[in-house]
Amino acid sequence: MGVIGLDKIKTLQRNPANIRNLCILAHVDHGKTTLADCLVANNGIISSRLAGKLRYLDSREDEQVRGITMKSSAISLHYSTGNQEYLLNLIDSPGHVDFSSEVSTAVRLCDGAIVVVDAVEGVCPQTQAVLRQAWLENVRPVLVINKMDRLIMELKLTALEAYTHLQKILGQVNAVTGTLFTSKVLEERAEKVKEEVNRDKDPSGDQVYDWSAGLEDADDSHLYFSPDQGNVVFASAIDGWGFSIQHFAHIYSQRMGIRTEVLLKTLWGDFYLDTKIQRIMKGAQTKGKKPLFVQLVLDNIWSLYDAVVTRRDKQKVEKVMTSLGIKVMTRDLRHSDPKVLLFAICNQWLPVSKAVLSMVCEKLPSPLEMAAEKVEKLMSVRTRRFDSLPERTQELKTAFLQCSSEINAPVIIFVSKMFAVDTKTLPQKRQRPLNQEEIAQRREVARQRHAEKLAAESLERATQSGSAPGEATMTSLPLKPEEEEEQKEVFIAFARIYSGTVKKGQRVLVLGPKYDPAQGLSLLPEGCSASDCIQEVPHLSCCTVENLYLLMGRELEELEEIPAGNVMGIGGLEDCVLKTATLSASPACSPFTPLYFEAAPIVRVAVEPKHPSEMPKLVSGMRLLNQADPCAEVLIQETGEHVLVTAGEVHLQRCLDDLRERFAKIEISVSKPIIPFRETVVRPPKVDMVNEELGKQQKVAVIHQVKKELPQGRSSDYQHVDPDGLVTLTTPNRLATVCVRAIPLPQEVTVLLERNSELIRALELMNSSLREGRAMDINLRILEAIAELKDHLQSLLQERKWRNAVERIWAFGPRRYGPNILLNSIKDYSRPSVWQCLEWRHSNDQVRAPASPLRDFDNSIVSGFQLATLSGPMCEEPLMGVCFSVERWDVESVPFSQNSDTLKEDSVSPEALRDVSSHGNSVDATTERKMDASSVDCYGPVSGQLIAAMKEACRYAFQAQPQRLMAAMYTCEIMATAEVLGRVYGVLGKREGRVLHEEMKEGTDMFIITAVLPVAESFGFADEIRKRTSGLASPQLVFSHWEVISSDPYWVPTTEEEYLHFGEKADSVNQALKYMNAVRRRKGLFVEEKIVEHAEKQRTLGKNK
């Protein structure tokens, strides 16, 4: 593995003072991976010639093809300066927004970060994001201003211009840091004020208000980037050079005889060199002099570029080389591309790796110097105060701070992600060069085999019989390739050890994110170790560390043990760790705070296998993907769709590629997810589409128009619709009649029912068990909740027409717990209400005896209602917020009255039936059974007919009211800067979004916009908004509620004004109709659309057509 051996790294790992865990962060294409390449090349792992071109850490194929990094990957580097030797655990991170989750995983494991900024582009959206992330994780950043060559070659700036440009960039970066700092201070202050207010509540003397924002007191000078602080490097990774002020300060202090400290202070800033008095003076700008930085530093570089690249002046180049004491190979000197020569010179003169690495070693903290504040932040989960953790947990803080790798130090490891690698790349399986002995051994084996074969052959020839030994060797041969083919993805945990030493085969506790150390400690006996079995503690499991790896970019090196403070890979955790976890040997450890993700996944697609028989493969593949990707979410919806949620289009592409080629290995197809709708009815409108008052007559006309379409192909004998929406329907055998009316429920009721669906389901369960007379142990708390729900409903249904409605509720639907109500408005039919379980509490045995004359057909009505609410007439989507009130219900009880004149006779039946039923249940049942038997021949059982009749009645009743479609809505929270606010509004408006409110985030220039957006319009929304705002706005979508689409899908102009306004056909777009037809078309239902709008007239064609 290159120049330094594994043993060296092992020894370095033991000295945490010289370990630096750092990551490279930047906006996309600012040169993170190129810079990483330079650092890697410094270690001799790749040739320095290839540095910047190879992109060694981009190991995935699509990363190389696309030229962007898609995952964070780590590599351990060795750096020695003076007499110190350092071990650098470098993590390269992606810059694209879609992969900001990978950045989170990288930042968590580090103590320091290199923030790379493009010298031309300056601070970009992702630069802000990563700075914020580094800030939130308490990671100390250093700055690298990269691509300095672009200032020279592309922008053709003079050295002086470049200097002002660089100053500007530094200012921008510091401004971002400044806002982060102020917002934090303000936040802290707000908290303090809150506490103070709390304290003030108890009357305790005089109060002193502190009006200062606290900004003045807080010291923030150490936060900012400044070259004289030594935390800024100017570099051009592609040309291989980079420097910090220190480097030049050293050179010039020797050459000019000025003290290094002075130079350090003055080299960056408004200073100039007065050549006459040989002194450094202040105020270069006002006096029109060249600042020191330009004169001493930039000019040199500019002249080098000029000589080598622009003018290609050989003599001058040689002169420069001798003055710098650099020798370049003749091959490079003669190369036709001047960049090669430039690279060769610069790489020796100002090697970028050295500049960056020395800054890193000096400025970034080692694991030993971890801030106490950071530890507390890591350990206090879910905004719990650190002080509230149990004492033994608090003690662990010292372990963190000491970072000791002694045997008795508790092992604490954080796994930030799981990544999949091919089994082939594991060190155990990798092919390695054979040493002499092994070659000899193999040769011997082969010789033997050959001899055996010969012997066997001769034997065979002699005896014509199969030879056992020969066969055995033959069969053993083809087995090998089979083993190799069985390659599987192995998951390796990307982790860091904070304390203790982890050994191969060690057993550790896996703490789930909800694990509570206080609870764990109280449950576990004192002094039990990880090897003890623990089942009783929630969110705690135990596993064995099977393998330990040193992460070397694409490769892994196996290690026996790893001491504290290092980044590493752990094998064998895939069964107990999903994405992140905290591993510890001590149950007192609290799980780390969950990762902070800059972007939540919002792009949803439905995934399906190309061949339906490959479904199981897809499911297992998606499971693996879920584990391998920190940000992807995978879910199966009720519709059976497999939905993949990703952070963006590029991320989606990567996930799909992974799924196709690594995890599922099948062809898959991707589509828009199915968008759900709900159907409902509303009160008849008072005004028409042009806001004119609707007269009574016209309103009736509208209803008639709708109704005319209803009966299509049905004899009106069986059904009748009143003008006010009461539907009467008779079963085909004319034995039963139901009258149903549909009433819109108030919105609050719908919301209440929707929210309490779980409770209603529990209620339904209780009722069914009560009906059987089986006593169930009922949770008192649930009963209370039900009673509360009932009261709530009662308070919401106050109007006259809802009088006593809550008591009369017959059922909920669909599926017995939906947001629709079946109401019993039949005059003389009493059945136990749905609230019977409440009464059951009071009078235990009264209800148990089935005193109520429960009709046998009660269930059929409910089933019919359930079916009707499950799929409405508009586009077979579930109903919502509809109340079906059964106003009359007759069942013909005389089974053999074939000549019955139906309706009139029917109305007598309830009494008759009750008479029968009062005799006792069994008699009742038999009569009905007999009746069933009589009608079986033509129409099937009565119960079945009644279900169908009830369903149809509900549908017609629904259609008799003004129908509306309900769309699912997302609430959409968008963070955007002021300059792109207008664009955000534009995108929202285009997609039927509605802005609820916007406000400015305190202490920043960010606006937070809250809007609602129909789910149907959300496909591609995230991408569009990002594109239109050049990534400055990032939306987050969360499902919030159902909203009625105000337009009527069946609307056609009816009144005179509407005719005037819209014309006869109403050509303007009807949103509801558009949605409805899309759903109907998808489901293969009849769509009222002409196949051809205008037919072609007859054309007589010529002879040859």
Which is nearer to other proteins, 52 or 609 (by Cβ)?
A: 609
Which is nearer to other proteins, 94 or 814 (by Cβ)?
A: 814
Least distance (Å) between residue 731 CB and other proteins: 17
DSSP-derived secondary structure letter, 368: G
Which is nearer to other proteins, 113 or 632 (by Cβ)?
A: 632
Least distance (Å) between residue 1091 CB and other proteins: 5
Q: Which helix (H) or strand (E) holds 330?
A: helix 330-334
Q: Which helix (H) or strand (E) holds 511?
A: strand 507-511
Q: Rounded CA gap, 635 and 619, in Å?
A: 10
Least distance (Å) between residue 575 CB and other proteins: 15
Would you tell me how many other CB atoms lie within 10 Å of the CB of residue 581?
Answer: 27
Which is nearer to other proteins, 765 or 1008 (by Cβ)?
A: 765
Least distance (Å) between residue 348 CB and other proteins: 54
Which is nearer to other proteins, 116 or 602 (by Cβ)?
A: 602
From the list 992, 789, 958, 787, the residue with the least C-alpha distance to 881 is: 958
Q: Is the CB of residue 870 less than 8 Å from the CB of residue 958?
A: no
Least distance (Å) between residue 992 CB and other proteins: 25
Which is nearer to other proteins, 125 or 814 (by Cβ)?
A: 814
Least distance (Å) between residue 941 CB and other proteins: 7
Which is nearer to other proteins, 155 or 635 (by Cβ)?
A: 635
Which is nearer to other proteins, 213 or 636 (by Cβ)?
A: 636
Task: Name the residue with tokens 């429960």.
Answer: 854
Tokens of 304: 């080098």
From the list 105, 104, 72, 21, the residue with the least C-alpha distance to 416 is: 105
Least distance (Å) between residue 1011 CB and other proteins: 24
From the list 296, 519, 551, the residue with the least C-alpha distance to 425 is: 551
* One-letter-per-residue 3-state SS of 100-120: HHHHHHHHHCCCEEEEEEECC
Which is nearer to other proteins, 455 or 635 (by Cβ)?
A: 635
Q: Rounded CA gap, 897 and 310, in Å?
A: 110
From the list 627, 632, 625, 649, the residue with the least C-alpha distance to 581 is: 627
Which is nearer to other proteins, 479 or 1092 (by Cβ)?
A: 1092
Q: Is the CB of residue 350 less than 8 Å from the CB of residue 97?
A: no
Parallel/antiparallel/unpaired status of strands 19-26 and 112-118: parallel
Asked if omega into 203 is within 30° of 0 (cis), the reply is no
Q: Rounded CA gap, 1045 and 1050, in Å?
A: 13
CB contact burial 965-987 (16+ within 10 A = b; e otherwise): bbbbbbebbbbbbeebbebbbeb
What DSSP assignment string belongs to 1035-1049?
Answer: EEEEEEEEEE-SS-T
Which is nearer to other proteins, 276 or 1105 (by Cβ)?
A: 1105
| Interacting residues of 1102 by C-beta distance below 8 A, sequence separation 6+ | none
Q: Which helix (H) or strand (E) holds 558?
A: strand 555-559
Least distance (Å) between residue 1088 CB and other proteins: 5
Least distance (Å) between residue 817 CB and other proteins: 10
345 burial via Cβ count (<10 Å: 0-12, 13-18, 19+): buried
Which is nearer to other proteins, 192 or 611 (by Cβ)?
A: 611
Least distance (Å) between residue 106 CB and other proteins: 25
DSSP-derived secondary structure letter, 879: B
Q: Is the dihedral of CA 1000, 1001, 1002, 1003 positive or negative?
A: negative
Which is nearer to other proteins, 130 or 628 (by Cβ)?
A: 628
What are the residues facing 642 on neighbouring strands? Answer: 607, 636
Beta strands in 978-1071 (DSSP E): 994-1000, 1006-1014, 1034-1044
Least distance (Å) between residue 589 CB and other proteins: 27
Which is nearer to other proteins, 274 or 709 (by Cβ)?
A: 709
Find the length of the chain. Answer: 1105
| Interacting residues of 571 by C-beta distance below 8 A, sequence separation 6+ | 426, 490, 491, 492, 493, 546, 547, 548, 549
Least distance (Å) between residue 837 CB and other proteins: 18
Which is nearer to other proteins, 1044 or 1079 (by Cβ)?
A: 1079
Which is nearer to other proteins, 645 or 681 (by Cβ)?
A: 645
* One-letter-per-residue 3-state SS of 669-718: EEECCCCCEEEEECCCCCECCCCCECCHHHHHHHHHHHHHHCCCCCCCCC
Least distance (Å) between residue 660 CB and other proteins: 17
Least distance (Å) between residue 928 CB and other proteins: 8
Q: Rounded CA gap, 983 and 443, in Å?
A: 73
Least distance (Å) between residue 603 CB and other proteins: 17
Which is nearer to other proteins, 205 or 1084 (by Cβ)?
A: 1084
Contact footprint for other proteins (CB under 8 A): 606, 608-613, 615-616, 619, 622-623, 626, 633-641, 671, 674, 709, 815, 859, 863, 866-867, 922, 925-926, 928-930, 932-933, 936, 940-941, 1081-1092, 1094-1101, 1103
Least distance (Å) between residue 670 CB and other proteins: 11
Which is nearer to other proteins, 121 or 633 (by Cβ)?
A: 633
SS3 content of the chain, % helix, strand, coil (to 5): 45, 20, 35
From the list 153, 131, 107, 120, the residue with the least C-alpha distance to 29 is: 120
From the list 509, 547, 546, 515, the residue with the least C-alpha distance to 531 is: 509
